[in-house]
Structures are given as C-alpha cells and as structure tokens.
Amino acid sequence: MSAVFNASSFSYLFLPYTKQRSTSVLARMSSHQVKVLEQCQISPPPDSVPTTSLPFTFLDVTWMFCCPIQRIFLYQVPFSAAQFTDQVLPRLKKSLSLALQRFFPFCGNFVCPPQPSEPHILYNDGDSVQFLVAQSTGALSEFLSDGLRDSKEIHTLVPPTPPTRILDDTLVELTPLLSVQVTLFPNSGLCIGIKYRHTVADGMSSIHFVKTWASIFQANCDMSCVCISLPVIDRGVIEDPKGNKDAMLGFWRAWGSPTWKEDAAALMEDNVRATFTLSRYEIERMKKWVSAKCDNGPLHLSSFVVTTAFIWVCLIKSLDVVTNNASKDVAQCHFGLAVDCRNRFGLAIPDTFFGNCIAGRIVSFPRGKFKEDDCVAPVAAAIGHSVQSLDSGVVDGYRNSFSKWPELHESGDDILTVAGSPKLAQYDTNFGWGKPRKVEVVHIDISGSISLSESRNGDGGLEVGVARNRRQMEVFTSFFQQGLNQFV
C-alpha cells in the first residue's frame, strides 16, 4: 500500500499496491515535503520465533487507553540518496529483522476478544511490522531547533497507525503494535520514527529495542559482535498475589474497550511545540531554593521533582492568563506521577524486563495556590512526598490511583502527565553515526503530556518538551524564563 497524507486534516488514504516504489506526497508544510518511497513489512527471520501468546499483566492493562507512543531520533549524517538506498537501507531492514527476533511481541497483535475472554498479545510466525521509507525536501535544521515550531510538521516523520482488523466469525479485534518510518534528509540527516501501543511496552522496553536495533546495525548484522542484553519476555516476573489484574480488567471493561482513536486531526491550527533545557546548575539552584522555602521536615527533592513542579506551575499560570482565569472554579489540579519499578521498591524485576513496569500516584494540589509567588516550593514538596510514599506499597497505591482516573477526567480538573524519563538514556542510541542530534516525543501534542529526558549536551541537565496553542506557549515561555531568575 502507499499512503497519501493531507497535512491539514491528518487523514490517511490507503490505496492498493504491490511492493513497488511510489512517490506519493506524505505531507507538505511550508518548505518541508515528505515523499513515501517504499512501504513494506519487516518480520523476524523465518522459523526463528514460535507462535506465542503473551498474557497481559495488571501493569499492561493500565495502558490500554493510552494513545500510541511516538518518538523520533534525528541524526546529522551526510548520506546521499544513492548511498542511503544502496548501502544504508538494506542494512537497516536486515538489522531490524534481527532485532525483532529478540523483541518479537512488537510484531504480534493486540488481541481483543469479546468478553469474558481476556485481551492478550499473539505472535504467529510471519507476523511483521509496517516499515516506511520516506524522503524529505526540507532542512534537517528545522527539526533540530528548540524554539517554537508548528506541531503538525513533526508528525510527518512518524508512520501512520496500521488499522485494527475485526475477524467476522469471532468478532475478535486484532491491532498491530508497532510501525517504523525512516526519513532521509539528503546529504544532511536521517530520522528514525517509531509508533507503538503502550500496552505492549513502556519507554524502557521500547528504548531497549531501538538500542538493540542500533547495536545490530552497527555490528553489520554480525550477532556475535552484539553485546547488548537480551530482553526478558516472561510475564511471570510480575507477581500479582492480590488480584490487581482482575481489578484493572474490571475497570477497563466498565469504561469500554479501547477504540485506538488518534486525535491528531483535532490539533489546533496554532498548536506549537518547543524544547526547554535546564542545566544541572539551574536544577541544583532550584533544589536549594525549594529546600530553603520549606521548613516542614525532610524533603525528597530529586531533579525530577523540582523540574516537574516548576513546569507544572508555569503551565497552570500560563493557562490562567490565556483563558482569563476560566478555570477559577476548578478546585484541584492533578499530576500523574509514574515511575519505573524494575529492581526497585523490593520488586525482583530485572532491568531488561520487556513489557510495562510502571506504577505511580496521583498528586493533587489546590488550584488557588498556584497563584502564589512561591508556589513551586509547596508543589515540589507535594510531588516529593508522593515519590516517597512509593516505598510503602507501590502496587496497592497504584491500583487505588488508577481507579480514580475516570472520575478525574469527568471532573474537568486539569491533569498533567509526563512522557519519558532521563533514565531511558535515549541519546545513547547510536547506529554508528554518533549520538542523535535530537530525540523528541511526538505524541505530547495529542496527549497533553510533557516529555522529559536527559539533556543531549551531556551536562547532567534535563530537556522538557511542551506543546500547547501558540498563545499559551508564548506566555509559558515568559513564565519559564522569569521563573529561573527567582531561584537565586
């Protein structure tokens, strides 16, 4: 199939095709135009993985309603079109196939049968992932900028979502889990874009997969030279003695099965995104400032805590400005705190576990207090307290927090979540072309989340991705810059 992409409506038109190349226009945004050169399927080597059915753990069920996760890796490398087609692309395909042999659940389908049967992942020999090859006429530098830029352009660098199929005889829904797009910027760069369902893997697992792909590519597909650890695909390591999975499935069934709708079409015309960097020095200043403002006992003030508190405050204040305090009657604002549980909190879960291993809490804070000048300090204290509470029953507390989500969404209260983590070390994803010049979480302009990662400068700082309408982003930027000046 070949895809025609209309940037103004974000709709895809799928046309029958045999495996020939096409030059269908994927998108045209200002000077940036992307053409799909090839669309094919990549699978593990034949007969290398047996048919496997993987049950979901309760931590997987949590993410069934999450929008598809989208991430791009931008590399500055001067491949010509001929060099890319003849030398790079064949090795990218072969190394991806070998990586998928290790991470075969990505090739399977999310199987959603009629109740009371449970959803699960099913891999059959020959299952594959959608793989798109594209070429841009735009400048790579446009995507390396941290400043305000149109949100829609970046969506041209990730593949469309493969459609869900319904088996007529059983009404079973089959949803593909991963798609990949490689976009060439001739003589300047390359973009690796991935889109996957959160219910199959969390950020740690997906980055492990991409790093494995990169390692195999760098080793010229010689598996004897690949040293990266194998994933642990064993759902038995997630123990569930209290029946959390049954409870989570109960919530899922009560709320309705996931529809996998994407809201990219609903992006406002003036939606923009930007990356904000905090140096280690600035983060340490924030910690000292917050500590001095709080005198109510020991605080948990990690870089994550103070950074998310500061960003949250700037977002709420900027929203109030652009809406003329339209949310003044909203009593509470909420922050979805999520943490990786691998080898933490007394849980014997290996670092290389493949799947979802994220739990967390909901932090609620009175909206009226966000108007106070020094509110970053109490907000940071509230987030830090919730992080500390994870040590005493991370699983049970997460179940309670998860059960509150429907009520919170219906309440109209503001809810902020975070995509990504500095612990993913995403800038260490090296295909042999050096580290990425930039890594971005694309879907934050759909989910309303912020993204968080280590700084690509390697200075111990953090990068925060934010996407909102242009007016709010302008006000947010002002609050961000002014706020940094107070932490002295």
Q: CA 305, CA 254: separation in Å to the nearest integer?
A: 33
- What does pLDDT average to over the chain? 87
What's the pLDDT at 16? 24
Contact partners, residue 86, CB within 8 Å, separation at least 6? none
Domain ranges within the chain, ordered by starting residue: 2-243+251-257, 268-486
Q: Tell me: the pLDDT tens digits for 268-294?
A: 578 999 999 999 999 999 999 999 998
In degrees, rounded to 5, the angle at the alpha carbon of residue 350 between the alpha carbons of residues 308 and 352 is 80
Average pLDDT over residues 336-354: 86
Average pLDDT over residues 469-488: 93
Average pLDDT over residues 3-14: 30
Decide whether 2-243+251-257 matches 268-486 in CATH topology: yes
In degrees, rounded to 5, the angle at the alpha carbon of residue 82 between the alpha carbons of residues 33 and 155 is 25
Residue 183: φ, ψ to 5°: -115, 125
What's the pLDDT at 7? 36
Q: CA 385, CA 382: separation in Å to the nearest integer?
A: 5
Say if residues 408 and 334 touch (Cβ distance below 8 Å).
yes
**Type of residue at 103:** F
Residue 324: φ, ψ to 5°: 55, 45
Average pLDDT over residues 77-105: 98
Reference 79, options 157, 181, 188; nearest CA is 188
Higher pLDDT, 233 or 244: 233
Question: Rg of the chain over CA atoms, in angstroms?
Answer: 22
Sign of the torsion formed by the C-alpha atoms of 16, 19, 22 and 24? positive
What is the β-pairing status of strands 414-419 and 450-454? parallel
Query: Per mean pLDDT, which of 191-200, 330-339, 409-418 is the most reliable?
Result: 191-200
Q: Is the pLDDT of residue 357 over 80?
A: yes
Q: CA 484, CA 488: separation in Å to the nearest integer?
A: 8
Q: How far apart are the first and last CA of the chain?
A: 57
| Secondary-structure class of domain 2-243+251-257 per CATH | alpha beta
456: tokens are 């690509």
- pTM (global) more than 0.85: yes
In degrees, rounded to 5, the angle at the alpha carbon of residue 377 between the alpha carbons of residues 376 and 383 is 85
Q: Tell me: the pLDDT tens digits for 96-111?
A: 999 999 999 999 999 9
DSSP string, 275-320: EEEE-HHHHHHHHHHHHHH--SS-----HHHHHHHHHHHHHHHHHH
Superfamily of domain 268-486: Chloramphenicol acetyltransferase-like domain (3.30.559.10)
Q: Tell me: the pLDDT tens digits for 370-417?
A: 988 899 999 999 999 988 887 766 666 667 777 777 677 666 678 899
Q: Residue 431, SS3?
A: coil
Q: How far is CA 424 from CA 83, 272, 419, 453, in A?
A: 31, 25, 11, 7
9: tokens are 């409506």
Q: Is the pLDDT of residue 335 over 70?
A: yes
Q: How far is CA 166 from CA 119, 225, 316, in A?
A: 14, 42, 42
